[in-house]
Amino acid sequence: MLFDWEPFEGLSPSHFLNFSFLPKYLSFFVQGVEYTLLLSVVSVALAVLPALLLALMRLSKWKPIKWLSGAYIAVFRSTPLMVQLYIIYYGVFSLIKVPQITILGFIDLSRFVPGVVALSLNSSAYVAEIIRAGILAVDAGQMEAARSLGLSKGKSMRLVVLPQAIKNILPALANELVTMVKESSICSILGMTELIWGAKTVANTTLKTLSPYVLAAFIYFLINFPASKAIEAVERRMRRGERT
């Protein structure tokens, strides 16, 4: 037998669609959405500056810097996020103590900060490649024209190339945020009160093992699908602007 159906015997649609727990436990999901969105936005925002530095290092002609940036990106893109989270939480933050302060009534900084650091370090490896691709998409003549006007290489990059690259970067950066909303669910393993943690808690408390996760999946869909469609619409509009 290729697949064991025994765990699913006796299951009916009511197991998937029984949301009788909602009146009592709705706050778990509302709080979970707030935590997830905050965790995702802060993580991606903090990833941008390190990613910009990594991208510029990758474009450097000095091989040691280029190699260091490439090594960082390779490590964080080639290892599981869960492993990175464990190493940062149990390793780095066993040495760096974050005070157990609760903000906004439900965010424990001693867990939130390590989670943000882990997600940001991971995201910066991906965002760095997004930024590098955006810079390379700018016509090389732009840099040459800026240098011919007497601007230094640094000023040419900052004042001429990067502003044009932003147009290429923004849609991909928005997609990274959508991805982060899903990736942040990994933080539930450390007890961070995001959406999956809320679904898990409700499932364990009510013994309804399927419907809380079905609801969580539906909420993720309601967040990510419209966001993805909006990003696609912006990309199409930007492409039309380029043609005109």
In the chain, domain spans: 19-243
Q: Say whether 167 sits in a helix, a strand or coil.
A: helix
Q: Report residues of the chain scoring pLDDT below 50.
A: 1-10
Distance in angstroms (rounded) separating the CA atoms of residues 89 and 181: 20
- The pLDDT, as a whole number, for residue 1 is 40
Question: DSSP string spanning 8-46?
Answer: GTT--HHHHH--TTHHHHHHHHHHHHHHHHHHHHHHHHH
CA torsion, points 230, 236, 241, 244, in degrees to nearest 10? -150
Domain 19-243, CATH? 1.10.3720.10
The pTM score is 0.83
Model confidence pLDDT, tens digit, residues 33-52: 999 999 999 999 999 999 99
- The pLDDT, as a whole number, for residue 137 is 78
Q: Say whether 135 sits in a helix, a strand or coil.
A: helix
